[in-house]
């Protein structure tokens, strides 16, 4: 009986962690940055969440950027309540920043930070699918 209770508690704990991670999984549209935006596919990568540029668009429509296939959301580890911490790559300057991410339904707020996370720039993404 004791083993059964432990198994149930473990299943609930791991289930809750998987559910929190699932909130970010999907395809997201970035904000326009330097005249272009992208669709980013976010998926599980080990115990973390990673996002890869899947499609790119500018004022003329979809185009084949050299950044397609590049990881922009890097090893975001769930912190609970839809928040994640990891790294984020900014294509326009080819720099990697401390990353913070919050997911709430079909809205995702991604922040790239410096100075130990004290100074951040952010983007608000919307779920495409």
Give residue 100's domain range: 2-127
**Residue 122 maps to which CATH number?**
2.40.128.520
At residue 85, what are phi and psi to the nearest 5 degrees?
Answer: -135, 140
**For position 97, what pLDDT does the model report?**
97
- pLDDT value of residue 17: 45
Mean pLDDT of 20-38: 87
What letter does residue 25 receive in the DSSP assignment?
Answer: -
State the Cα–Cα distance between residues 57 and 98, nearest whole angstrom.
Answer: 26
pLDDT exceeds 70 at position 3 = no
Proportion of the chain above pLDDT 70, given as a percent = 84
pLDDT at 118: 85
Q: What percent of the chain has pLDDT over 90?
A: 74
| Phi, then psi, of 59 in degrees rounded to 5 | -65, -20
Quick: pLDDT tens for 54-92.
Answer: 999 999 999 999 999 999 999 999 999 999 999 999 988
pTM, two decimals, is 0.80
103, β-bridge pairs: 108
How many domains does the chain fold into? 1
The residue with greater pLDDT, 22 or 121, is 121
Give the position of tokens 């975001």: 76
- pLDDT given for residue 22 in this prediction: 72
């Amino acid at each position: 009986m004791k083993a059964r209770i432990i198994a149930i508690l473990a299943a609930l704990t791991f289930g809750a962690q998987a559910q929190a991670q699932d909130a970010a999984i999907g395809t997201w549209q970035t904000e326009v940055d330097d005249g272009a935006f992208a669709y980013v596919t976010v998926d599980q990568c080990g115990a973390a969440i990673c996002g890869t540029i899947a499609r790119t668009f500018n004022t003329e429509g979809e185009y084949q950027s050299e950044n397609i296939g590049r990881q922009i959301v890097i090893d975001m580890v769930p912190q609970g309540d839809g928040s994640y911490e990891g790294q984020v790559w900014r294509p326009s300057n080819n720099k990697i920043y401390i990353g913070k991410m919050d997911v709430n339904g079909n809205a995702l707020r991604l922040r790239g930070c410096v100075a130990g996370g004290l100074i951040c720039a952010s983007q608000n993404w919307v779920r495409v699918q």
